[in-house]
Amino acid sequence: MIPDALGALSWAHMALLVAAAWIAATVLASVQGFALERLLRARKIFDVPLFDGQYRFELAGNVVFITVITASITAALKLGVIRFGATGWLAGGVTFAAMLLGFQVFYWFLHRAMHTPALLVLHRWHHRSQVTTPLTGQSVSPGEAVGWAVGFVGLPWLFSLIAPVSFWGWVGYLAFNTFGNIVGHSNVEPTTPAAATRAATWFANAFVFHSLHHARWNGHYSFQSALMDRLFGTEWKDWPALYERIIAGKPLASLKEHGE
């Protein structure tokens, strides 16, 4: 169940709380991402300039994203769309794990669909950033933001048809997703070699993995790990070679660079 104090909030107060929490998470994650870019300049991924006004453009996209997500989560909580009820650490962990895997599957199909001609209009905003920054992660069109909201609210709703889910497990996953999405768009490579192996990337990608998607457009549709791209054959074979170049202090000088 959701905390009693939260359930007693009016629509307006709930929306303010959700917005404040998401803005705080966005600011904290962005600060972390930009700090990484300063601290790890020797591991820059693309040594290519940003487009003129990119930060302003991305900030506008973040406002769109946070507005849509705030409205969606507020409505879900006030209308009781998700059946909460499970409590305790075990229930929280199960809910978190279900969201972790469920969102990876959901997002691959959503992302792949947005690269088809019919839905491309939804995704062009995000791909305006060919070289990514921490602000890129949530820089999306209203239509794409709705797609994310479906994942954030629709997945726990679907799970709760089977059994009640943990409120705090769900909130914990949303925080994890937000930080990973924002920090993971930083234009540097903090991943250690041990965490960039084929085995490790079943669970979490090196940063260059998604950076290449922005540069090349097609392929690497996954969120967080290589799982879905590997299963569906949309993983590029050359990213490990490019990873090795980047951590050796040799950033990619062109969006069209390929590895051996």
Assigned domain for 257 exists: no
Assigned domain for 83 exists: yes
Assigned domain for 246 exists: no
Assigned domain for 37 exists: yes
Domain count, the chain: 1
**Predicted TM-score (pTM) above 0.85:** yes
Assigned domain for 241 exists: no
Query: Which of 117-137 are b and which e, b meaning 16 or more Cβ less than 10 Å from the residue's Cβ?
Result: eeeeebbebbbebbbbbbbbb
Phi-psi domain of 109 (left: phi exceeds 0; alpha: psi -120 through 50; beta: other): alpha
Assigned domain for 131 exists: yes
- Domain region containing 106: 4-191
Neighbours of 38 (CB within 10 A): 8
Assigned domain for 215 exists: no
Q: CB pairs under 8 A, 24+ apart, for 128-131?
A: 128/51, 128/54, 128/57, 129/50, 129/51, 129/54, 129/57, 129/58, 129/214, 130/48, 130/51, 130/214, 130/215, 130/255, 131/46, 131/48, 131/49, 131/50, 131/187, 131/211, 131/214, 131/215, 131/255
- One digit per residue, the tens of pLDDT, for the chain of length 260 reads 688 788 899 999 999 999 999 999 999 999 999 999 999 999 999 999 999 999 999 999 999 999 999 999 999 999 999 999 978 999 999 999 999 999 999 999 999 999 999 999 999 999 999 999 999 999 999 999 999 999 999 999 999 999 999 999 999 999 999 999 999 999 999 999 999 999 999 999 999 999 999 999 999 999 999 999 999 999 999 999 999 999 999 999 999 999 87
Assigned domain for 107 exists: yes
